[in-house]
Amino acid sequence: MTARLLDGRAVGATVRAGLAETIAAYTENGHRPPGLAVVQVGGDPASSVYVANKRKACAKLGIESFSHDLKDTVSQAELDALVDELNEDPRIDGILVQLPLPEHLSADSIINRIDPDKDVDGFHPTNIGRLAIRQPGLRPCTPFGVMRLLEETGRDLHGMEAVVVGASNIVGRPMALELLLAGATVTVCHRFTEDLAAHVRRADLVVAAAGKPGLVRGEWIKGGAIVIDVGIHRRDDGTLHGDVDFDAAAERAGFITPVPGGVGPMTIAMLMHNTVTSWRRRLGLD
Ligand SMILES: Nc1nc(=O)c2c([nH]1)NC[C@@H]1CN(c3ccc(C(=O)N[C@@H](CCC(=O)O)C(=O)O)cc3)C=[N+]21
Ligand SMILES: [Mg+2]
């Protein structure tokens, strides 16, 4: 392997340590701690593990977490009422409603209902709009985490040919906006793209976020390119894999993220970052 690893666990830990310091400095001066509300609907085991990890990460930093575990039979009206209550609660700086939601509930309507200044996922149309016009509010966590990882490469993104594979609301599209604002020339590939290989072969930076295991082949990677893998898939043997054929890509890339241990831990770190940003703004600390 020739690529250098972009270690999301290590960079995420650095981000979290910085946040812990900020929180300690202000709470020692008598300010209330940051508060994050985590709403989970139904008891999906994978989701529960993930939510429990977020709570632990919060506690370690000095963020107070408020858990709301709702039955999967909860009505839209009840969920709406909870979001309204959390929007008004002065102890709460961030609201995260774990997705996906059961079929009978509308994720769009919940995302739209969350106060954009408490939308620590960065999913609200206001926050996506702010990003699009370079007035970032709360930035979507996964693309934000990727931008933080890219800093580790020390490379200048200006003029770089960046190819984003996947155009989802929560990763691909905001990722393209982030890279555009950073000065890259951005191509977004998606299900209707005719020759994915041709686009990837030109890329100095590839962000794979299609949700298809092994979609991006190692032989497509340009020598020295940066490869960021947002995909996460569990095989029957329990091992995790991304959207990139890692072993072959690592032979050619300059930098590459592993799965696990790459983008995933950065997403959580940036969720904490957004919670602290929202808290500072709410307390007038900036
Ligand atoms: N409102 C909302 N916001 C989210 O941000 C959100 C969500 N809903 N629903 C579920 C997805 C999934 N997601 C992950 C974040 C980090 C890891 C992560 O840290 N993964 C570890 C591996 C974990 C393992 O071992 O299973 C890694 O990549 O190293 C995984 C998954 C955030 N999500
Ligand atoms: Mg797609």
- pLDDT tens by residue, 80-111: 999 999 999 999 999 999 999 999 999 999 99
Q: Is 7 left (phi over 0), alpha (psi -120 to 50) or beta?
A: beta
pLDDT value of position 197: 98
pLDDT value of position 45: 79
Ligand 1 geometric centre to CA of 96 (Å): 13
Q: Per CATH, is 141-264 categorized as 3.40.50.2300?
A: no
* Ligand 1 contact, 266 CB (< 6 A): no
Pick the atom of ligand 1 nearest to 100's CA. 9
- High-pLDDT (> 70) share of the chain, %: 100
- High-pLDDT (> 90) share of the chain, %: 93
Length of the chain: 286
Q: Is 141 in contact with 121 (CB distance < 8 Å)?
A: yes
pLDDT value of position 55: 87
pLDDT value of position 286: 74
pLDDT value of position 47: 79
**Which residue numbers belong to the known binding site for NADP(+)?**
166-168, 232
Pick the atom of ligand 1 nearest to 121's CA. 3
**Rounded distance, CA 82 to CA 256, Å?**
41
**Which residue numbers belong to the known binding site?**
166-168, 232
Pick the atom of ligand 1 nearest to 259's CA. 28
Is residue 214 packed enough to be buried (19+ CB in 10 Å), middle (13-18) or exposed (0-12)? middle
**Rounded distance, CA 140 to CA 149, Å?**
14
pLDDT value of position 169: 97
Q: Which residues have C-beta under 5 Å from ligand 2, the single-atom ion?
A: 166, 190-191, 210
- Ligand minimally distant from the alpha carbon of residue 172: 2
* Ligand 1 contact, 261 CB (< 6 A): yes
∠ CA(114), CA(117), CA(120), 5° rounding?
Answer: 75
Residue bearing tokens 């696990």: 260
**In this structure, what are the phi and psi dihedrals at residue 163, rounded to the nearest 5 degrees?**
-120, 120
- Ligand minimally distant from the alpha carbon of residue 193: 2
* Ligand 1 contact, 97 CB (< 6 A): yes
Closest CA to 94 of 35, 142, 136: 35
Q: Per CATH, is 31-127 categorized as 1.20.1420.30?
A: no
* Ligand 1 contact, 265 CB (< 6 A): yes
DSSP state letters, 131-164: HHTT--SSPPHHHHHHHHHHHTTT---TT-EEEE
Fold match between domain 31-127 and domain 141-264: yes
Ligand 1 geometric centre to CA of 54 (Å): 9
pLDDT value of position 48: 82
Q: Whose CA is nearest to atom 25 of ligand 1?
A: 260
In this prediction, the residues of the chain whose per-residue pLDDT falls under 70 are none
DSSP 244: B
Ligand 1 geometric centre to CA of 83 (Å): 22
ipTM for the whole complex: 0.96
Beta strands, E only, the chain: 4-5, 35-41, 64-70, 94-97, 161-165, 185-189, 205-208, 226-229, 233-234, 240-241, 255-256
What is the pTM for the complete model shown? Answer: 0.97
> Which residues contact residue 159 at a Cβ distance below 8 angstroms, ignoring those fewer than 6 apart?
183, 184, 185
Q: Is 45 in contact with 15 (CB distance < 8 Å)?
A: no
Write out the catalytic residue numbers.
Answer: 54, 98, 121
**Rounded distance, CA 252 to CA 226, Å?**
10
Q: Whose CA is nearest to atom 31 of ligand 1?
A: 264
pLDDT value of position 128: 98
Neighbours of 196 (CB within 10 A): 18
pLDDT value of position 136: 87
Domain spans, the chain = 31-127, 141-264
Token digits for 39?
Answer: 């709403």
**Rounded distance, CA 208 to CA 212, Å?**
9
Q: Is 169 in contact with 144 (CB distance < 8 Å)?
A: no
